[in-house]
Homo-oligomer: A and B are copies of this chain.
Amino acid sequence: MANIQEIARLAGVSTATISRVINGHPHVSESTRKKVIELIEQLDYVPNGNAISLKKGATCLIGIVAVAFNPLLIRFMQAFTQSAEKHGFNITLFITNGQAEKELVALEMLKRKQLDAIVCVLRSNEWNVIESYTKYGPIVTWQRLENSNIPSVFMDQYEAYCTGLEHLYSKGYRKILSIYPMPNGLNTKERMRAHSDFVLKYGIPAEKFPVFQGKTLVRDGEELARWWISQINRPDAVFCANDEVAAGFITVIRRLGFSVPGDVGIIGFDNTEVAHLLDLTTIHYPVDQQAENAFTIIQNMIDTTTKELIPLNYTLVERQST
């Protein structure tokens, strides 16, 4: 494979000139530029990327680290990739399946200068381990963390959940059942707090509904519907853990002849494709903007600029289910 020296030799000029031509630098006579370009095309020459990386100390490669695939994560990845691509960065992927060592592979590559930055979407190691690598390059995360100086694009769900509850209240619903995502998860805690504050605020009498947790699938929503139908004292509104659960719920409820929002109001979370499809009221979750911000943060750290971040806001998307 031809290298820059061979081109230089054949063109009868120095490597410096070749470099100038390749990188579009000024101060090259039109005639030599022509000749060089011709030669480059003839020999099918391209610069060696590793040599450039070595010289520049950067690879234009960003690592994305995550535990596993899921629809929200894929959305994040795609949005991040899109931002990164615009600025010439490519993505290398590390799916850890919860194995800390795989995450360390990525962190080590950062240290060895094979990665310019890392987005640790869902971590596997302890934060202090990850933090010890921040000196080798930008590391950004999607999760919340305390007592750490790793930038994060995490969003607290308390306010958003309140907004959803207030919406239901304003629509006249009083017997509201909340379905929570993963138990022990931070999001579940925040939503529970929002719900109990809400109950307190309006002095809503306590209902004897069971606590539903760890419900995140369409299937869970379907089961929930069967539970709802079997009850004598039914909730008049259900705030689902996400749009999938809401989708399962509304589908079964309607199929069996009940009316939404008449017999029961339903609200989802995330504003995914299915919420649009089934006309579900939901909370819009700006994953794409979070991803964009994640890239902007990295960019700011690399170029020491201070490009503004997009303000992140949940918004209520009101549709026919409430």
Task: Decide if B94 touches A92 in the complex (CB within 8 Å).
Answer: no
Complex: A233 Cα to B172 Cα, angstroms: 49
- In the complex, which residue of chain B has the Cβ closest to the Cβ of A90? B92
Is A43 on the interface with B (CB-CB < 8 A)?
A: no
Point out the residues of chain B lying under 8 angstroms from A78, CB to CB. Answer: 69, 95
Point out the residues of chain B lying under 8 angstroms from A48, CB to CB. Answer: 54, 112-113
Complex: A59 Cα to B92 Cα, angstroms: 13
Is A46 on the interface with B (CB-CB < 8 A)?
A: yes
Task: Decide if B59 touches A112 in the complex (CB within 8 Å).
Answer: no
Contact of A46 among B54, B61, B95, B108 (CB under 8 A): B108
Complex: A93 Cα to B66 Cα, angstroms: 14
Q: How many copies does the complex hold?
A: 2
Complex: A240 Cα to B134 Cα, angstroms: 51
Is A105 on the interface with B (CB-CB < 8 A)?
A: yes
Is A12 on the interface with B (CB-CB < 8 A)?
A: no
Point out the residues of chain B lying under 8 angstroms from A47, CB to CB. Answer: 112
Complex: A51 Cα to B56 Cα, angstroms: 11
A117 to chain B, nearest CB (A): 14
Contact of A92 among B46, B92, B255 (CB under 8 A): B92
Task: Decide if A92 touches B95 in the complex (CB within 8 Å).
Answer: no
A interface vs B, CB < 8 Å? 46-51, 53-54, 57, 59, 61, 69, 74, 78, 81, 85, 90-95, 102, 105, 108-109, 111-114, 255
